[in-house]
């Protein structure tokens, strides 16, 4: 949603529930750059408190930094008769993953990481991402990545 849409929802007191996953980065844009072999640039954004913005518009809004509070925040939002927003603060170092990962994307990611300044946390995230349901990369790419961890 854009700010204008939030204003419209608030002005008409529509019972719309919005969930914002805030990782202070343009995660999918960053991933697209990396899988094309480009180091990420200009995709990290300053911290913005979207719950505060929503409250200023008249939403019921809550910012969740503790994962154990997510369910309670959702229950409050869904029980609210008007517009509500739940902002979930997520790890900016965690990779956003596309629904299906192809070998060429893994190769592009490895190429981008080889061009970027040393960031061991990015490599750890990449390797752990492959263990969470990602399609296995061609053997030569996987072997190259294993040597970089």
Q: Are 1 and 18 in contact (CB under 8 A)?
A: yes
Predicted TM-score (pTM) of this structure: 0.64
Same domain as 129, residue 56? no
Share of the chain above pLDDT 70, in %: 74
The pLDDT of residue 98 is 63
| Residues 101 and 126 reside in one and the same domain | yes
Q: Residues 6 or more apart from 146 whose CB is under 8 A from it? A: 127
Q: Indicate whether 89 and 101 sit together in one domain.
A: no
67-104 residue pLDDT tens: 999 999 999 999 999 999 999 999 877 766 666 778 88
Q: Are residues 56 and 23 in the same domain?
A: yes
* Same-domain pairing of 53 and 8: yes
Based on the domain organization, do 148 and 119 belong to the same domain? yes
Q: What is the DSSP-derived secondary structure letter of residue 90?
A: -
Does residue 122 carry a pLDDT above 60?
Answer: no
pLDDT value for 106: 79
Q: What range defines the domain where residue 86 resides? A: 1-94
Looking at the fold, whether 54 and 16 belong to one and the same domain comes out as yes
* One domain for residues 44 and 30: yes
- Number of structural domains the chain divides into: 2
The answer to whether residues 62 and 103 belong to one domain is no
Q: Are residues 105 and 86 in the same domain?
A: no
The alpha carbon of 49 is separated from its chain's Cα centroid by a whole number of angstroms, namely: 15
**Average of per-residue pLDDT across 5-27:** 93
Q: Are residues 60 and 108 in the same domain?
A: no
- The least confident of 56-60, 131-135, 137-141 is 137-141
- Segments in the chain forming alpha helices (H): 3-11, 27-35, 50-57, 70-79, 103-115, 120-129, 139-148
Confidence of residue 140 (pLDDT cuts 50, 70, 90): very low
- Looking from the CA of 8 toward its CB, the CA atoms found within 13 Å total 5
Same domain, 76 and 136: no
Question: What does the alpha-carbon distance between residue 140 and residue 126 come to, in Å, rounded to a whole number?
Answer: 16
pLDDT at 94: 74
Give the pLDDT confidence of 45-65 residue by residue, as tens digits. Answer: 888 999 999 999 999 999 999
Q: What angle do CA 20, 116, 24 make, to 5 degrees?
A: 15
* Rounded Cα gap, residues 78 and 86, in angstroms: 10
**CA proximity to 62, closest of 102, 30, 22, 27:** 22
CATH number for 54: 3.40.50.970
Q: How far is CA 131 from CA 23, 41, 67, 128, in A?
A: 21, 26, 22, 5
């Amino acid at each position: 949603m854009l700010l204008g849409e939030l204003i419209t929802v608030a002005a008409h007191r529509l019972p719309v529930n919005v969930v914002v996953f805030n990782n202070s980065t343009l995660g999918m844009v960053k991933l697209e750059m990396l899988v094309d072999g480009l180091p990420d640039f200009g995709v990290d954004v300053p911290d913005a408190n979207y719950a505060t913005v929503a409250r200023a518009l008249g939403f019921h809004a809550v910012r969740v930094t503790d994962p154990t509070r997510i369910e309670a925040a959702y229950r409050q939002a869904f029980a609210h008769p008007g517009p509500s927003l739940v902002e979930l603060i997520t790890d900016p170092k965690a990779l956003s993953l596309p629904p299906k990962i192809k070998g060429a994307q893994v190769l592009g990611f490895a190429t981008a990481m080889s061009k970027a300044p040393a960031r061991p946390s990015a490599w750890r995230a990449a390797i752990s991402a492959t263990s969470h349901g990602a399609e296995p990369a061609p053997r030569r790419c996987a072997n190259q990545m294993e040597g970089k961890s």
